[in-house]
């Protein structure tokens, strides 16, 4: 059950090395603490191998990539692979610029990822060399809906098979797939898109969940996705008159902090195909 | 009316490329989302031209400039000019160091800006090569008051004429001027100076407002300045016992998120000279 | 009394130059504003000497060090020493990587620090060349307890004597020592470890406190440590049903913002040995 995945995180306090963007980095750190993990950030090529070594996993997010941090992604990724640590890729903005697309593709070629988490436009870019990313948000034309669910599930499984990574494609409907099965998840609130960084937070959390559940990684990533969406729902019900996206951000993270296995098991809305 | 400017932003979701400092970058992203825009951040020279191309405007903030980000400012600014996108400059700390002063002046020489937003010390530094910036805050000796308002309005119009940019000089009294007219704005709260980044947030928002109101840019920037000040007033009235600057920051952003045209029209305190 | 130290900060608004990590930089800025100081951030080698010159002190934090920012630390530190400004070192993650350990040790060799603030594992690394840092948190084996208090106090005084800096070793029990005396401080809440950056915030605040109390620096640093811990206690009592680490962060900073001398004097829990 998903709740077991949560408890394994809280019991083991997985340490996650994050090479991530400076827009949402503080949220990623606090979200990791909220879920029961522990964050460390480092993006200097001379520092990252040491830092990755003491961690249980590596979260690579290209949201504000630069030449130095790109070099660090490859150095840390290689070290994490050597140590058989969990490695997650969040290809922020793949499809929006040549540098982002090319970096994400080169990372997938050189590094073995356990999880790739992005919106549908980013994942399509990696899969097909196409996909029209609107900045850092998915394009409306790409979005997973009840109508195109069947082919999108097949696409997610195929992407997982080809990359050898668990595919976590998040949006109004979330898909978490390996080559064999796909979790279809319907947690979350549309208002979450009015806060920067819920996707980045999820990538950090999913890394911690995969570290703490090595025998059960696909379910663990699905648990992390349900957790984030459910926290969005709980946070929303706690909103008071006059509050907006800034307080909503706090309330979502507070809900992650207070989540327990029973609440997650009851509130998770998913099916497996 | 100012409210129309607000509605044009909410209708068109302007995408803003921000090359900005890492102190307040998360607030700039969330403020852009709160006002109805969409943010993307990129400061790598090889990435910025692509990112600027897919956006409607560019917000350049020199708050934590470095050699790499300075190069990116010039590359992105040139591309934005070529595409006739809106470009805003926030010359954080101009006057506080030679690098900041020289970079801001070089940017104005090489890039055509639609808007330049700063405190009075920063703008004086750009206009006169003088002005005594106290860190990132305006010097008391420079401040716009009811007593020196007439010459300051003339100064703002003159600066706008010489640079070809709308001048947005913010402080206790805010001035938004083009060569012909100057909005004198008296919204806001002194407690806003106890939060880092309200100026940076305003620069992001003003970029979105100018993008969404291309025929009416001076009024749009004035609307953005009124919005920020009014949000500061509304946020303040929502403060509870024991709350301080951190919660105030959330309440201001929440007020931006909840602002509608009618509230802005009613609450904006300005005259035009 | 500690309250005098607080009032001296509020009266003089010390300007602090921070070369700090991008994870918690926004919190450091807002915490400095909350306590009555004023922050400025700059980490470009060509910018830092000018910025340090206009400030009263320099806060160096190696949390996300890179080659550029390391160079800036040495440049700014030398300038601050030349001007006899307050300089504080926060050796985040010393012991966790060779680059962090070596950088912190080289900084201590080349720069005269007034204060070194870290967790016990970081300080042990600097003192003994050992200490097992678990990421950015102290290792359980190192922690200061009631049982090992006597030798830890001696260690802190010895470290202070050897480095010539006030040693601020923070954890469940905090120690603030110069060569002669050691403040043993028992403020704070364990839940503070579930928020990223309370240590970084404290380093910024301690710099401001030392600047504003030049005749009384050890007491001033102890006052800053008591302030942070007491704010954690007050913030905790203000927590509402359903709130977690994200709102707690706001409530702690709000408590710093609202702290006055009388509250600090009454709430500070310390002894001097």
Give the percent of chain A with pLDDT over 90: 94
With a threshold of 0.90, tell me whether the complex ipTM lies above it.
yes
pLDDT tens readout for residues C128-148: 875 555 566 777 778 999 999
Residues in contact with B255: Cβ distance below 8 Å, sequence separation at least 6, in sequence order: A242, A244, B230, B231, B232, B234, B235, B238
What would you measure as the largest C-alpha separation in chain A, in angstroms? 52
Q: Looking at chain A, which residue has its C-alpha nearest residue B252? A: A246
Residues in contact with C180: Cβ distance below 8 Å, sequence separation at least 6, in sequence order: C157
Q: Centre a 10 Å sphere on the Cβ of residue C18 and count the other Cβ atoms it contains.
A: 29
State mean pLDDT over B220-243.
Answer: 97
3-class SS at A119?
A: coil
In this prediction, residue C136 carries a pLDDT of 67
Q: Which of C97, C134, C196 sits opposite A26 (nearest CB)?
A: C196
The full DSSP string for chain C is -HHHHHHHHHHH--EEEEE--SSSHHHHHHHHHHHT-EEEE---HHHHHHHHHHSSEEEEE-TT--HHHHHHHHHHHHHHHHTT-EEEEE-TTBTTBHHHHHHHHHHHHHS--SEEEE-HHHHHHHHHS----BTTB--GGG---STTHHHHHHHHHHHHHHHSSEEEE-SSSEEEE-SS-EEEE----GGGGGSTTHHHHHHHHHHHHHHH-TT-HHHHHHHHHHHHHHHHHHHHHTPPTT--HHHHHHHHHHHHHH--HHHHHHH--EEE-
pLDDT tens readout for residues C181-227: 999 999 999 999 999 999 999 999 999 999 999 999 999 999 999 99
Kindly list the residues from chain B whose CB atom is less than 8 angstroms away from the CB atom of residue A245. 30, 33-34, 253-254, 257
Nearest of A206, A258, A255 to residue A2 by alpha carbon: A206
A140 CA: distance to closest CA in chain C (Å): 32
State mean pLDDT over B157-165.
Answer: 98
Residues in contact with C128: Cβ distance below 8 Å, sequence separation at least 6, in sequence order: none
Q: Where are the alpha helices (DSSP H) in A111-216?
A: 120-128, 149-163, 198-212
Regions in chain C scoring below 50 on pLDDT: none
Cα C191 versus chain centre, distance = 18
Say yes or no to pLDDT of B263 above 70.
yes
Structural Rg of chain B based on CA atoms:
17
CB under 8 A, 24+ apart: contacts of C136-139: C136/A39, C136/A40, C136/C63, C136/C92, C136/C93, C136/C96, C137/A38, C137/C193, C138/C171
In this prediction, residue C132 carries a pLDDT of 54
Q: Is C26 within 8 Å of B24 (Cβ atoms)?
A: yes
3-class SS at B95?
A: coil
- As a whole number of angstroms, the distance between CA C186 and CA C54 comes to 36
Q: Residue B135: pLDDT band by 50, 70, 90 thresholds?
A: low
In this prediction, residue C49 carries a pLDDT of 98
C227 at interface of B, judged by CB pairs closer than 8 A: no
- As a whole number of angstroms, the distance between CA A78 and CA A53 comes to 11
Say yes or no to pLDDT of A130 above 90.
no
DSSP 8-state symbol, A97 = B
In this prediction, residue A79 carries a pLDDT of 98
Strand order in the sheet with A166-169: A38-41, A15-19, A57-61, A86-90, A115-118, A166-169, A174-177, A182-185, A270-272
Kindly list the residues from chain C whose CB atom is less than 8 angstroms away from the CB atom of residue A47. 65-66, 97, 99-100
Kindly list the residues from chain B whose CB atom is less than 8 angstroms away from the CB atom of residue A63. 41
The mean predicted confidence, pLDDT, of chain B is: 96
A253 at interface of B, judged by CB pairs closer than 8 A: no
In this prediction, residue A137 carries a pLDDT of 74
The mean predicted confidence, pLDDT, of chain C is: 96
- As a whole number of angstroms, the distance between CA A197 and CA A204 comes to 11
Strand order in the sheet with C174-177: C38-41, C15-19, C57-61, C86-90, C115-118, C166-169, C174-177, C182-185, C270-272
- As a whole number of angstroms, the distance between CA A42 and CA A40 comes to 7
- Do the chains contact at A33 and C194, CB–CB below 8 Å? yes
Q: Residue A134: pLDDT band by 50, 70, 90 thresholds?
A: low
Kindly list the residues from chain C whose CB atom is less than 8 angstroms away from the CB atom of residue B21. 41
pLDDT tens readout for residues B53-83: 999 999 999 999 999 999 999 999 999 999 9
Mutation target vs B (from C41, C70, C205, C243; most B CBs, 10 A cutoff): C41
Q: Is A132 within 8 Å of A142 (Cβ atoms)?
A: yes
Q: Centre a 10 Å sphere on the Cβ of residue B154 and count the other Cβ atoms it contains.
A: 13
pLDDT tens readout for residues A110-122: 999 999 999 999 9
- As a whole number of angstroms, the distance between CA C72 and CA C105 comes to 16
Cα C225 versus chain centre, distance = 8
């Amino acid at each position: 059950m998903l709740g077991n995945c949560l408890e394994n995180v809280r019991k083991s306090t997985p340490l996650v090395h994050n090479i991530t963007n400076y827009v949402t980095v503080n949220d990623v750190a606090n979200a990791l603490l909220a879920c029961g993990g522990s964050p460390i950030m480092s993006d200097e090529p001379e520092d990252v191998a040491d830092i990755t070594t003491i961690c249980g996993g590596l979260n690579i997010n290209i949201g504000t990539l630069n030449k130095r941090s790109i070099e660090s992604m490859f150095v840390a990724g290689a070290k994490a692979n050597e140590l058989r640590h969990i490695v997650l890729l969040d290809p922020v903005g793949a499809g929006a610029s040549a540098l982002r697309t090319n970096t994400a593709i080169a990372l997938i070629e050189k590094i073995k990822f356990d999880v790739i988490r992005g919106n549908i436009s980013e994942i399509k870019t990696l899969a097909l060399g196409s996909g029209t990313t609107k900045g850092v948000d998915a394009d409306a034309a790409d979005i997973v809906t009840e109508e195109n669910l069947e082919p999108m599930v097949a696409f997610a499984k195929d992407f997982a098979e080809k990359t050898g990574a668990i595919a976590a494609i998040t949006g109004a409907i979330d898909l978490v797939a390996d080559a064999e099965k796909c979790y279809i998840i319907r947690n979350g609130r549309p208002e979450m898109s009015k806060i920067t960084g819920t996707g980045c937070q999820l990538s950090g959390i999913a890394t911690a969940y995969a570290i703490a559940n090595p025998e059960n990684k696909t379910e663990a990533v699905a648990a992390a996705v349900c957790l984030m969406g459910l926290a969005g729902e709980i946070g929303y019900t706690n909103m008071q008159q006059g509050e907006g996206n800034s307080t909503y951000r706090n309330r979502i993270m507070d809900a992650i902090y207070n989540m327990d296995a029973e609440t997650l098991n009851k509130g998770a809305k998913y099916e497996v195909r």
